[in-house]
Amino acid sequence: MSQNDKLLVSLENGIKRITFNRPERRNATDNATLRLLRDAIQESAEDGSKVIILTGTGDAFCAGADLQTSGDSGLMNTDVTKMLRENVNPAVLAMRSLNKPIIARVHGHAAGVGCNYALACDWIIASEQAKFGQVFVKIGLAPDGGGSYFLSRTVGYAKAFELLATGDIIGAQEALALGLINRVVAYEELDEAVNATAARLAAAPAVAIAQIKQSLNYAMKHDLAESLDNEAVNQAACFASQDFQEGVQAFLEKRKANFAGK
Domain boundaries, given as residue ranges, for the chain = 3-202, 206-252
Integer Cα distance of 156 and 77 in angstroms: 35
Is residue 78 predicted with pLDDT exceeding 60? Answer: yes
Q: What mean pLDDT is predicted for residues 102-116?
A: 97
Is residue 73 predicted with pLDDT exceeding 60? Answer: no
Integer Cα distance of 220 and 44 in angstroms: 24
pLDDT band for position 195 (50/70/90)? very high
Q: What pLDDT score does 261 carry?
A: 74
Q: What pLDDT score does 2 carry?
A: 58
Integer Cα distance of 207 and 244 in angstroms: 9
- Supply the mean pLDDT for the chain: 94
Q: What mean pLDDT is predicted for residues 10-14?
A: 94
Residue 102 three-state SS: strand
Integer Cα distance of 168 and 71 in angstroms: 26
Q: What pLDDT score does 149 carry?
A: 96
Strand 123-127, strand 102-106: pairing: parallel
Q: What mean pLDDT is predicted for residues 1-13?
A: 85
Q: Does the reported pTM lie above 0.85?
A: yes
Helices (H) and strands (E) in the chain, counts: 12, 10
Integer Cα distance of 74 and 51 in angstroms: 37
Please state which CATH number belongs to domain 206-252.
1.10.12
Q: What pLDDT score does 3 carry?
A: 67
Q: What mean pLDDT is predicted for residues 240-256?
A: 93
Is residue 74 predicted with pLDDT exceeding 80? Answer: no
Please state which CATH number belongs to domain 3-202.
3.90.226.10
Is residue 1 predicted with pLDDT exceeding 70? Answer: no
Residue 123 three-state SS: strand
